[in-house]
Structure 1
Amino acid sequence: MTTDLIHSDATELAELIRTGKVSSVEVVKAHLDRIDATNPRLNAIVTLADGALKTARAADEELAAGGDVGPLHGVPFTAKDSYDTAGVLTQRGSPIFAGRVPDTDATAVARMKRAGAVLLAKTNLPEFSYWIETDNLLTGRTNNPWDLDRSPGGSSGGESAAIAAGMSPLGLATDLSISVRGPAADTGVVSFKPTHGRIPMTGIWPRAPRRNWHVGPMARSIRDLALAYGVLAGPDGADGFATAPRDFDAGLGASPDRPVRVGWLVDSGLGPTDAEVAATVRAAADALQAAGVRVDAVSIPALERDNPLELWTKLHLMEVKPAFRKVTAGHEDQMFTYSTFLAGMPDTSVEDYVEAEQGVERLRDGFAEYFHQYDVLLLPVTTIPAHEHQLGQFTVDGRTMDAFHVSSTTVPFNVTGHPALSMRFGTSSDGMPIAVQVVATWHAESTVLHIASLLETLSPVRDQHPAL
């Protein structure tokens, strides 16, 4: 029974609890036991939430008393350690914030609790949530459950490793350039970055640059992403970017009245991609076509004209460095890899900054044109499968690339704000998960979830778990 519980998705767990087939205490205990058995090798969980079992007992008592229950009643969840959690350590991956305990929950955490979910633990992240790997001076390095010598990605690598290893069924992550989707791809779970502003950033740090930061769920199934999205999305009266009203379909979405149009690509100006990653995207496109979906190989001229990663870097340096200087002042001996690297980078000139802003506008126009013709874009999540720790550079198709090139296929949708989802659809020759990315136009989350749900039924790698 315990094995079943740690590999069940949140939707199933909620139904089992609601129908009395299992108690919230049993579900929470099963995941706590899994943390005890597995986390020492992974270091994905950095803080257990005091009182999780007590909260689970209260959930069982409320259910027994016939009280109204939310869609996640009694189901445990985890949150990246950049989310404020009332009464629970939130240390942001840095000794500078060691021992920090917030008084209030981030909006996303509060909404999960209101839906009945039980906060189980906080998960590891790189310093300040900035890097493609999960490591820091305070809580150390997180390992990939599929291969301990490899990274689970960053910056939500602790969250992805925890879910992949059965320590959590559902989690809260954040995404600046890759951090929701890349870690999910590296560990074989699913994740969703909705349209920018759909889920408030209130109570999450850092928030600079606000234009690029997104909040999103990570889970074991597409239906869990839809469930969590419905719980999390909507204005909170505090985040000025979270303005879209709750007038959306929070389910898996229905097929439009006309046939869905899907375009797929593996290059189109995004740089070299690992051959096995490219083959997985093609396989997903072929599977959709065989299922009756209209699918075309496409190119997007806007991506070939303006490099999104270069634009992101120029904007990022100008907007993030002041925030980092402020928080690290007087704590220079406690700075880790990325903040040290960033401090040494030259500032972006005003001219380059303005040109980058205009480049982003051209990208948005280019994607608007693309999504006028197609409903969905299918492409890689990361340009290579999960890599070894401390990646400096790598070679793809004879070209040597900087480590951050792994995000060249995710960062376009941070600078434009499009909804994008990561889901596994293949396996590398050395046994690592390979994912595909499903993207739609702004606020078309139901379209993303609809196509992802269809792909999930077609996937050759459903219900595979790391052998831990």
Structure 2
Amino acid sequence: MTDSNIWRLSATEIVTRTKSGALTAEDAVAAAVNRMEKANPALNAIVDSCAVEALERARALDKARNTGEPCGPLHGVPVTIKVNVDQKGHATTNGVVALKDMIAPGDAPVVANLQKAGAVVIGRTNTPEFSFRADTDNLLYGRTHNPWGKHISPGGSSGGAGAAVMAGIGALAHGNDIGGSLRFPAAANGAVTVKPGLGRVPAWNPSQKAERGLLAQSMSVQGLITRTAEDLHLSMPSMISPDPRDPFHVPLSWRGVPVDGPIRVAFTKNTFGYELHPEVEAALDTARDALVEAGYQVENAEPPDVFECGRIGYRALMGEVWTLMKADIDAHGSQTIRDIFEVYFQEFPPFTGDDLVRMMAKRSHYAREWSLFTEDYPLVLTPFLPQPFFKPDRDTEGAEGVHEVLGCAVYSYTMNFVGLPAACVPARVAPLPQGPQPINVQIVARRWREDLAVDAAAAIEARVGRMCETLWRLMDGQEP
């Protein structure tokens, strides 16, 4: 492989070469930085370059290896960090103009864990204002574009992360997810991710002035967006390393006890009255067939209370947002984000007062029902969205736009409300009139078993192929 193509390597391939001495950390990072400088101007995925400090850190890693120090599990892997998480010396802006000078005094646990493992941060990625859209645009940094084309939103809120990693800007991209913010960008860009379950990845920002709301704590998780499923198996064990600053972190191993096979998978195409697009159905069928070929026992079965659970969960979250965030949104948000939130509150009427307390209590009921269901079916294969991914700014088009973007995404935020792991993996390229675009499916796993969801994603990927290869041909002007 020539130096100009090192950026194409997966994280797993990079680590194999850097540990053996076939590739230096400096060369791996330099290739990613060069790719960033070439590809990012058209995408605006990276909004804060860390190129200088990244190259210095890579050289230090090489020096340490050459003097006999052990290499970490992510030695020399270029990564990006989302701008809503603290990285010492950089602004944690959350996409908000008023926060542009809020410099982090220290690293968040995810940043510390990645760097302890030997990863190298090359840049920070864009997010919408307050990290609360399924699209990525803001007045501070501007719009992020999808490398598949400007006809598709890059997703959000980790839209910069999804666009960057699929364009080859770093092998791993940090993101987070309170209602779908890892999985929306994965679906938009054809990437792979797993939304970890509650408590799996330690989270805290040293810059924060107050604790987050209870639902924000229990629904929001930190994770990674990657180009391959195997890179999640490589990197997530480092992400879940304990940090005492998160008192509710669950210190379990990444790999759980093997499940007696064949593993049963519940398979559903139910979209609760929303139209299931033929391309999404084709992707689901492909994913099902891939799992059957890989030895899974796939059965048609309906999981419990998805629509009711998802809608109640998001209405409860909107109640907490109304109480704790609305004043800041009104004071510091753009007119665009204020308008979007007004429609959010119409689509998901906030629970308040006694109703909010009751619905937060009911969360345990839904979680229990899902725990019982996953005793029989350790995995559940579902749509992620019922339609192909939406266009940029669709959520600015009133009630109809927000309904298409978030209203129909019940399979997404249901998993946040009940705290279960959920992988998102591409299963098809749809040849749509506006241009080709990836179609992802979702794989839910029983509690604490992110590894099972990623195993299933790898089985689907083995049949479909790595979506990044198709995208890079398209970006080079070739037939996808």
**Separation (CA, whole Å) in 2 of partners of 1:269 and 1:357:** 23
Higher mean C-alpha displacement, 125-134 vs 284-293: 284-293
Query: 2:284 is matched with which residue?
Result: 281
Higher mean C-alpha displacement, 49-58 vs 315-324: 315-324
Query: 1:177 is matched with which residue?
Result: 179
**Per-residue deviation, 1:240:** 2.9
Q: Structure 1 456/381 Cα, relative in aligned 2: closer, same or farther at 3 Å?
A: same
Q: Structure 1 307/278 Cα, relative in aligned 2: closer, same or farther at 3 Å?
A: farther
1:386 paired to 2:382: no
SS of the counterpart of 1:86?
A: coil
Aligned with residue 228 of structure 2, among 212, 216, 221: 221
Corresponding letter in the other structure for 1:178: G
Query: 1:62 is matched with which residue?
Result: 64
**Separation (CA, whole Å) in 2 of partners of 1:79 and 1:385:** 27
Q: Structure 1 271/352 Cα, relative in aligned 2: closer, same or farther at 3 Å?
A: farther
Aligned residues: 457
Corresponding letter in the other structure for 2:451: S
**Separation (CA, whole Å) in 1 of partners of 2:309 and 2:151:** 32
Aligned with residue 131 of structure 1, among 133, 137, 143: 133
TM-score (norm 1): 0.91
Q: Deviations over 1:65-92 (max 9, x none)?
A: 1111101112111011111001123211
**Separation (CA, whole Å) in 2 of partners of 1:400 and 1:104:** 36
Identity of aligned residues (%): 30
Counterpart contact for 2:395–2:402, Cα < 8 Å:
no
Aligned with residue 159 of structure 2, among 152, 157, 160: 157
Matches within 5 A, 1:56-455: 56-203=58-205, 207-208=212-213, 209-242=216-249, 244-249=250-255, 256-267=259-270, 269=272, 271-303=274-306, 306-308=308-310, 310-325=311-326, 327-328=328-329, 331-332=331-332, 334-342=333-341, 345=345, 348-392=351-395, 401-430=403-432, 431-455=436-460
Counterpart contact for 2:280–2:439, Cα < 8 Å:
yes
**Per-residue deviation, 1:189:** 1.1
Higher mean C-alpha displacement, 188-197 vs 352-361: 352-361
Q: Structure 1 66/301 Cα, relative in aligned 2: closer, same or farther at 3 Å?
A: closer
Counterpart contact for 1:263–1:377, Cα < 8 Å:
yes
Q: Structure 1 288/4 Cα, relative in aligned 2: closer, same or farther at 3 Å?
A: same
Counterpart contact for 2:173–2:226, Cα < 8 Å:
yes
Higher mean C-alpha displacement, 139-148 vs 255-264: 255-264
SS of the counterpart of 1:311?
A: helix
**Separation (CA, whole Å) in 1 of partners of 2:224 and 2:68:** 29
Counterpart contact for 1:254–1:450, Cα < 8 Å:
no
SS of the counterpart of 2:425?
A: strand
**Separation (CA, whole Å) in 2 of partners of 1:175 and 1:126:** 13
Query: 1:26 is matched with which residue?
Result: 27
Higher mean C-alpha displacement, 385-394 vs 56-65: 385-394
SS of the counterpart of 1:432?
A: strand
Q: Structure 1 399/299 Cα, relative in aligned 2: closer, same or farther at 3 Å?
A: farther
Counterpart contact for 2:228–2:466, Cα < 8 Å:
no
RMSD (Å), alpha carbons: 2.5
Q: Structure 1 354/100 Cα, relative in aligned 2: closer, same or farther at 3 Å?
A: closer
Query: 1:458 is matched with which residue?
Result: 463
Higher mean C-alpha displacement, 361-370 vs 455-464: 455-464
**Separation (CA, whole Å) in 1 of partners of 2:374 and 2:79:** 34
Higher mean C-alpha displacement, 160-169 vs 256-265: 256-265
Q: Structure 1 2/128 Cα, relative in aligned 2: closer, same or farther at 3 Å?
A: farther
Q: Structure 2, unaligned stretches of length 5 or more?
A: 476-480
Query: 1:6 is matched with which residue?
Result: 7
SS of the counterpart of 1:93?
A: coil
**Per-residue deviation, 1:256:** 2.3
Q: Deviations over 1:157-199 (max 9, x none)?
A: 0000000101111011000101001101110111111111100
TM-score (norm 2): 0.89
**Per-residue deviation, 1:407:** 2.5
Bigger share in helix: 2
SS of the counterpart of 2:223?
A: strand
Query: 2:478 is matched with which residue?
Result: none
**Per-residue deviation, 1:254:** 7.9
**Per-residue deviation, 1:222:** 1.1
**Per-residue deviation, 1:401:** 4.0
SS of the counterpart of 1:51?
A: helix
